[in-house]
Amino acid sequence: MSKKLNIGLFGFGIVGQGLYDITVSRNLNLEFKKIAIKDATKERTLPSHLFTTDKWEILNDPEINTIIELINDANAAYEIVTYALKNGKNVVSANKKMIALHLEELVQIQKENGTSLLYEGAVCGSIPIIRNLEEYYDNELLYAVSGIFNGSSNYILSKVFNENQSYNDALKKAQDLGFAETDPTLDVGGYDAKYKVVIAASHAYGIFANPDDILNIGIQNLQNSDLKYAREKGQKLKLVPVAKKQNDKEVSIYVLPKLVKKEDFLFNVENEYNGVSVQAAFADQQFFFGKGAGGHPTGAAVFSDISALRYDYRYEYKKALIEEKINFNNNEVIEVYLRYNDEDLINKLHFIDIEERFSSKDYHYVVGSIKLEDIFKAKNLILEDGAFIADTGNYIAS
């Protein structure tokens, strides 16, 4: 039998309202006791007695046994989540940055206090990838987890590539629709996707990687010449995070634009949709597809976690408990397309070899193999040059 959940909700933005719409339409054993907001003067659709600007009114309420954290501020979210877990309250969070930065600590806090933190809504919106990695693939040997994890950047790329919109116009439309923030760096710079793949990797491989050690370069330097190159190859450009086993003891994790071939599942993932590919030893390749942005899709994932807490569900982190630990590094060699401005950038990147080179008055590019570590070290040089780099997806034999 399910237990009664008395909920304290932090945040009543797009996702918070989407979640509330979903829950009130269902006859479940739960109740929203209080909702914490920042702006008390803003007009709300719910009775005023439900709202508070005092977080302690929720966190110190003994009747509230479940906290739902849906705010943008990672530091504030960390304080809310850790306090709640340490004081006997279960938590559902959708804050991918906070979780990725503190996951190992959060796992330990749960263990010490017998509480549960669930966060399906933090990774790929409506796609239930965390629960699948935890349960379906718990004893499976995974070769790679990759895909389109950020609906905002995918929406922009879809409009630019398929409808010939300018990058700036597509970005503004994404912002108007609520898919991208006013400061879009988190999305178009690949940070959002990086935080999500860090979380996914912890469940796929039992590894707690520091996001600061992981390469992420986004689509902010995209130009028409890069789109033309992809079209000439019969490919599309997508922003793709990757967590991939190099061998039995090492995993590489990175986020780069990728030249996607027609036969790739990701080729037809458009607009705000996400797609997650899991390559496994026994199950082979499986693909998950669904909306990755918007109030109701993300709200549905949060609602799934709330429903699970009614039966005391918690992540077991089985792969993190095995004795033979898997380590993260940036030693993998990949093949990339690099469009650049300053010729000196090529020397600073330390290409292992260059397969193709083109240079004209206004357009210069190379295609060659390079170690992830060398791209990581030169990230600022690449961005400052205005260069655009993309994984070609071609396999490099080790």
- In this structure, of 23-27, 31-35, 258-262, the range with the lowest mean pLDDT score is 23-27
User: What DSSP line would sit under 104-140, residue for residue?
Assistant: HHHHHHHHHHT--EE-GGGSSTT--HHHHHHTTTTT-
Residue 145 burial (C-beta neighbours within 10 Å; 0-12, 13-18, 19+): buried
Angstrom distance (rounded) from CA 278 to CA 144: 6
How far apart, in whole angstroms, are the C-alpha atoms of residue 70 and residue 65? Answer: 17
Sequence letter at residue 67: I
Bridge-based pairing state of the strands 236-245 and 250-260: antiparallel
Mean pLDDT (whole number) for 125-138: 92
SS3 362: coil
Give pLDDT, residue 337.
98
Q: With beta carbons less than 8 A apart as the criterion, state whether 5 and 29 touch.
A: yes
CA distances, 159 to each of 38, 174, 272 (Å): 34, 10, 11
- Side chain identity, residue 179: F
* 142-196 per-position pLDDT tens digit: 999 999 999 999 999 999 999 999 999 999 998 888 777 778 999 999 999 999 9
Kindly tell me if the per-residue pLDDT of 398 is higher than 60: no
What domains are defined for the chain? 5-126+296-320 (3.40.50.720), 131-291+325-332 (3.30.360.10), 333-398 (3.30.70.240)
Of the pLDDT bands very low, low, confident and very high (cuts 50, 70, 90), residue 107 is very high
Which tokens go with 60? Answer: 């110190």
Per-residue pLDDT, 1 = 60
For residue 397, name the pLDDT band (cuts at 50, 70, 90).
low
Give the three-state DSSP class for 277: strand
For residue range 369-384, list pLDDT tens digits in order: 999 999 999 999 999 9
Model confidence pLDDT, tens digit, residues 231-287 = 999 999 999 999 999 988 899 999 999 999 999 999 999 999 999 999 998 889 999
In this predicted structure, what is the pLDDT of residue 323?
60
Q: In the prediction, which pLDDT does 182 show?
A: 75
Q: Which residue has the higher pLDDT, 2 or 21?
A: 21
- pLDDT at position 75 over 80: yes
Task: Label residue 292 by pLDDT band (50, 70, 90).
Answer: confident
Report whether 46 contacts 23 (CB < 8 A).
Answer: no
Confidence class for position 106, pLDDT limits 50, 70, 90: very high
State residue 283's pLDDT score: 86
The pLDDT value given to residue 279? 95
* Tokens, residue 333: 């060699």
Please give the mean pLDDT across all residues of the chain.
93
266 SS3 class: helix
Q: What is the pTM of this model?
A: 0.95
Mention every residue, 6+ apart, whose C-beta is less than 8 A from residue 279: 142, 143, 144, 145, 285
Active site residues: 196
Report how far residue 183's alpha carbon sits from residue 72's, in angstroms, rounded to the nearest whole number. 12
pLDDT (average), residues 214-227? 97
Q: Which runs of consecutive H residues, i.e. helices, occur in the chain? A: 14-24, 55-59, 74-86, 96-113, 129-134, 151-163, 167-176, 185-188, 191-205, 224-232, 295-309, 344-349, 372-377, 379-385
**Do residues 125 and 274 make contact, with C-beta atoms less than 8 angstroms apart?**
yes
Using alpha carbons, select from 260, 228, 263 the residue that is nearest to residue 242.
260
User: What is the structure's pLDDT at 181?
Assistant: 75
Is a pLDDT exceeding 80 seen at residue 124?
yes
SS3 content of the chain, % helix, strand, coil (to 5): 40, 25, 35
Label residue 357 by pLDDT band (50, 70, 90): very high
